[in-house]
Structure 1
């Protein structure tokens, strides 16, 4: 697999991971993070979301070097990364709830 596809897939997973943490920060709730465990508050979730987005942007920027200005199969890889993470989280929360 081409390294830009791997970077795009990983970036999609990171963006998908950032979304619930950002929502947690905005709604001032608590949600599990690797930074502070199960009782992570809004500030920690905001920081975790920002870190995920920053790394995703870095991966996408790195993988786009020297490529055309339009998306190619990397957009599909990004979408699959996002979908994979979202499906995994939905299934894992249904089977073994960690965040409620």
Structure 2
């Protein structure tokens, strides 16, 4: 049960991480990825988004083994993972400007 909550939390983080990379791919912009650094273009971001979605999906399926039909605490863990990652990214973009064009 505890491991399923950890897997659900990690899945939430990965799936939340896929959203900005998918948006980057769709809009044709650049966004930092570990695959190609700061200048990662839309195609690299599409790959990174897909990897995060697949990883998150696999973790969710693994967390379900032997579980019930209902989410129970795993849903809260998943949502907390999404919230934690989104909060971290909003804060880091606000103060560190990792993906913001620098003014000269």
TM > 0.5 fold call? yes
> Alpha carbon RMSD of aligned pairs, Å?
1.0
- Structure 1 segments of 4+ aligned residues over 3 angstroms from their partners: none
**In the alignment, which residue of structure 1 is the partner of 2:83?**
83
- Give 1:95 deviation, angstroms: 1.0
User: What is residue 62 of structure 2 aligned with on the other side?
Assistant: 62
Q: SS of the counterpart of 2:34? A: coil
CA distance in 1, matches of 2:24, 2:18: 10
Q: Which runs of 5+ in 1 are unaligned?
A: none
- Aligned partner of 1:51 in structure 2 is 51
Count the aligned residue pairs: 100
Deviation, 1:72, is: 1.1
Structure 2: gaps spanning 5 or more residues? none
Instruction: State how far apart, in whole Å, the 1-side matches of 2:66 and 2:96 are.
Output: 43
- TM-score for the superposition, normalised by structure 2: 0.93
Aligned equivalents of 2:8, 2:90: Cα separation in 1:
21
